[in-house]
Amino acid sequence: MIKKTNNLMDKIVSLCKRRGFIFPGSEIYGGLTGFWDYGPLGVEFKRNIKNEWWKSVVQDRDDVVGCDAAIIMNPEVWKASGHVDSLTDPLVECKTCHIRIRADQGDDIKDHEAGHAKKKEKVSWTEPKKFNLLTEVFLGATEPKQKAYLRGEITQGVIVNFSNTVSSSRVKIPFGIAQIGKAFRNEITPGNFTFRSREFEQMELEYFIQPDEKEGESVFKYWKEERLRWYVSLGIRREHLRFHEHTPAERAHYARFAEDIEYDSPFGWKEFEGIHHRGDWDLSRHKVSYKDPDTGKEYTPWIIETSGGVDRAALFFLIDAYSEDGDRMVLRLNPKLAPYKAAVFPLLANKPELVKSARKIYEDLRKHLMVAWDDRGNIGKRYYSQDEIGTPYCITVDFESLEGNDVTVRDRDTAKQERVKIAELREYIVKRVYGEQ
Ligand code: GAP
């Protein structure tokens, strides 16, 4: 394990670019602050995170169904939800250099003042102003164009489909609706790589319950523990996570109560995921209620929400998995999250019989798993290259394979090798990556 410093962030950013996880958005035009693109490995990694989340929150449960709502909604939604008035951050401007900064980000303010102090300049700030984070878009071909918003949280798409979901499926309270999708915020100070971006992806669960204080407390407790357990089950070290209860000043306008799961990142303890008790805020603002099919009682349900960032999860999983072993860099990702589950090599690229056999193994495996092919350089270099991107198993076809119908499988974490029969290879890898099926 390596010490967490900003040096680690530099290594992560450089690895992401070099190996095709994450690139600066629109880079050939000089980039655009707060926007990032995921490359060949990043897209696989992010998809694996989302699949694992969906499996744990929807597929493995009886009480949660899914939704995929439009990004652009009728702008009335955002007025009713309170985001037009309240999705704001406090903004101050430095009177010396006119840079604008979030007034509630103490470290940014201190860093800025320190920069001026070095030049023997004094800093004074304007009074904080509320800055709305919703991103406006304009629709239609004729003037005046219709003003709408890119969604500032994915939540509202679920809320406005509450009644449609109840009437079209067999759900009964308590139940949840899960969604994964892009959200957009015109952040004043995007930064720390993808940590605070202007376009990002969220994975959210809105869990609907009866309006009851005790029930609210116990469902909130259940989901915050469950979400923390999920991160730990996929490899984040427990000691790198903690809960942070929001003070009334920190709470979003819709929250009766909120706690964050925070991560001990190289740039301090930072919000990973928010767990919010939204009470009846949303459904009552949209004038939506629920009729209990058994009792006929009508009421406005309460919502307990878990809201995680996919990009933050990707970044923190990468940071937590990064390790150096001498000059060997190993990304100890949980195999379920690794972009490739295995890599297949012929021992020598200039021996057609080895290439043919390795190619057959690769083509059989890739019907079931994401698998890499590599026949460049020597075996040692190929191992290093796969370790660096977190591939848990490397499979080498050598001359013995042609006689014995077996291959060498090398484990990323232990660097130990074992011989495995080609006929049993798929089951061997699947079991180790996903557990008993
Ligand atoms: N629906 C509730 C909601 O949106 P939030 O705490 O504002 O709550 C939830 O956001 C999660 O979305 C955060 O914990 C974080 O993981 C992610 N997130 C929020 N803003 C982000 C940004 N600017 N860049 C990347 N991820 C962000």
Average pLDDT value for the chain:
96
What is the mean predicted confidence (pLDDT) over 65-91?
Answer: 96
- Asked if residue 192 has its Cβ within 6 Å of ligand 1, the reply is no
Closest approach atom of ligand 1 to CA 185 = 23
Cα angle: 398, vertex 404, 409; to 5 degrees:
50
The model's confidence at residue 3, banded by pLDDT at 50, 70 and 90, is low
Q: Going by CA atoms, what residue is nearest to atom 9 of ligand 1?
A: 307
Q: Mean of the pLDDT values across residues 346-359? A: 96
Mean pLDDT of 138-164: 97
- Predicted confidence at residue 5, as pLDDT, reads 62
Express each pLDDT in 60-73 by its tens digit.
999 999 999 999 99
**Ligand 1 contacts CB of residue 187 (under 6 A):** yes
Parts of the chain belonging to CATH 3.30.930.10: 6-80+141-320
Domain with CATH 3.40.50.800 in the chain: 340-434
Return the CATH superfamily for domain 6-80+141-320. Bira Bifunctional Protein; Domain 2 (3.30.930.10)
Centroid of ligand 1 to alpha carbon of 3 (angstroms): 27
Q: Whose CA is nearest to atom 5 of ligand 1?
A: 274
pLDDT digits (tens, 9 = 90+) for 426-435: 999 999 999 9
Q: Is the pLDDT of residue 437 over 70?
A: no
Whether residue 184 has its Cβ less than 6 Å from ligand 1 = no
Asked if residue 2 has pLDDT above 60, the reply is: no
- Long-range contacts of the stretch 265-270 (C-beta < 8 A, 24+): 265/4, 265/192, 265/195, 265/316, 265/319, 266/4, 266/5, 266/6, 266/8, 266/9, 266/319, 267/6, 267/9, 267/192, 267/195, 268/107, 269/242, 269/244, 270/192, 270/195
Ligand 1: atom nearest CA of 154 is 1
Comparing C-alpha atoms, which of 319, 338, 346 is closest to residue 392? 338
Buried b (16+ CB within 10 A) or exposed e, 357-393: bbbebbeebbeeebbbbbbeeebeebbebbbbbbbbb
Whether the pLDDT of residue 363 is over 60: the answer is yes
pLDDT at 4 (0 to 100):
61
Instruction: Classify domain 340-434 at the CATH class level.
Output: alpha beta
Closest atom of ligand 1 to 202 CA is 12
Residues in Cβ contact with 42 at an 8 Å cutoff, skipping those fewer than 6 apart: 16, 20, 21, 22, 314, 339
Ligand 1 center to residue 392 CA distance, Å? 31
- Over residues 89-124, the pLDDT tens digits come to 999 999 999 999 999 888 888 889 999 999 999 889
Measured by CA distance, the residue closest to atom 18 of ligand 1 is 309
Confidence at residue 325, expressed as pLDDT on a 0 to 100 scale = 86
Residue of 133, 307, 317 with the most ligand 1 atoms within 8 Å of its CB, for mutation: 307
CA of 234 to the centre of ligand 1 (A): 20
Dump pLDDT digits (tens) for 38-61.
999 999 999 999 999 999 999 999
Q: Residue with the nearest Cα to atom 25 of ligand 1?
A: 196
pLDDT of residue 327: 84
Q: What is the pLDDT of residue 375?
A: 95
**Strand pairing of 302-309 and 417-421?**
unpaired
Best residue among 202, 204, 257 to mutate for probing ligand 1, ranked by most atoms within 8 Å of CB: 202
311 has a pLDDT exceeding 80: yes
Whether residue 153 has its Cβ less than 6 Å from ligand 1: yes
Task: Return the higher-pLDDT residue of 189 and 282.
Answer: 282
